Amino acid sequence: MNTFCSGFADDLEKFVQYRRASGSWNEYASHQNLVYFDHYCVDNYGGAPTLTQEMIDSWCVKRDTETSGSCYTRTLPARQFVEYLSCRERTTVKSPDAPQLDKRKYIPHAFSDEELSGFFNACDNIIPYKNRPASVLRKIQCPAFFRLLYSSGIRTTEARYLRRTDVDLIHGVLNIQKSKGYDQHYVALHETMTEVLKSYDTAANKLQPDRTWFFQSLKGSFYGRDWVNDNFKKIWASANGDPKGMIPYDLRHHYAIENISSWEDDSFTFSEKLHYLSKSMGHRWIQSTLYYYSIVPRLADKLQEKTEAGFNEIVPEVWDEEG
């Protein structure tokens, strides 16, 4: 079915076919933004039979609600379309300059295997202080909580807000209902992580019968962000020294790059795998997932090789995702 309805819908379809054939087309974000551009032209310029300079210029104006990176991503397919027509001498319309991108702010820590091994060993060897209830609870919760972040890539917010009813320990599936990207999505756990959560759940039941939250405080509520950050820093310091600005969110970043780096060519294409990973991580946009990969030294070239597209086309900016 033709998703375009403007006077130049056929040209848009040919452009998409060309990009697909060249292996440099994002079937999700890029295609959707091109459809938005097509509908914008219909809504604002009626049945105009051809593309005009006013159409592309007005579309590429940065909106008050956008960052420069968001504007870049939204307008990129339309600008590429203009260049496509121009190279074939089918238009005199000029593609507007791309917006100046914001400087990236977030540079996560690249974990070594030794650091992670030391961190989780320290988690497993927490010594309760005078067997106080909060300290005993910390001993059983931290190993499970941080392994869950590491093995699933979920946000710390999503882990903190998990209710017992959201965790299917029979099938190994999390029902993420509190999420920044999607209203709801499901995360399949590795069987070893499911076993860790089963053991934790059994131990937690002895201390907190009939609890509501999967990781519940002594007050009967979910934990705040400070509980996650403080425990991460304390445990990390005991195993590896000064955290130096590291945050639990870095475990999510690690999950993303480890997954993408491990993909090999098989029956599933890179874009298909990326789509599934993005859904699992609760991202609304695939660029959010690719960003984690792009900021690791020396991996930007590998990313471009895998997607056959330019770096800034794929990952234009930091996407604001709460840890």
Q: Where are the domains of the chain?
A: 9-87, 113-249
Q: Distance (Å, rounded) from C-alpha 261 to C-alpha 293?
A: 8
Instruction: Calculate mean pLDDT across residues 293-303.
Output: 47
Superfamily of domain 113-249: Intergrase catalytic core (1.10.443.10)
Q: Distance (Å, rounded) from C-alpha 309 to C-alpha 306?
A: 8
3-state DSSP call for residue 213?
strand
Q: Distance (Å, rounded) from C-alpha 71 to C-alpha 168?
A: 40
3-state helix, strand, coil in the chain (%, to 5): 55, 5, 40
Strands 167-168 and 173-176: antiparallel
pLDDT band at residue 272 under the 50/70/90 scheme:
low
Instruction: Calculate mean pLDDT across residues 1-19.
Output: 88
Residue 320 has pLDDT above 50, yes or no: no
pTM of the complete model: 0.57
111-130 confidence digits (pLDDT tens): 899 999 999 999 999 999 88
What's the half-sphere exposure (Cβ side, CA atoms, 13 Å) at 287? Answer: 23
Q: Are 76 and 95 in contact (CB under 8 A)?
A: no
pLDDT band at residue 299 under the 50/70/90 scheme:
very low
3-state DSSP call for residue 174?
strand
Instruction: Calculate mean pLDDT across residues 38-45.
Output: 95
pLDDT band at residue 298 under the 50/70/90 scheme:
very low
200 CB contacts (<8 Å, ≥6 apart)?
Answer: 140, 141, 143, 144
Instruction: Write down the pLDDT at residue 234.
Output: 96
Residue 45 has pLDDT above 70, yes or no: yes
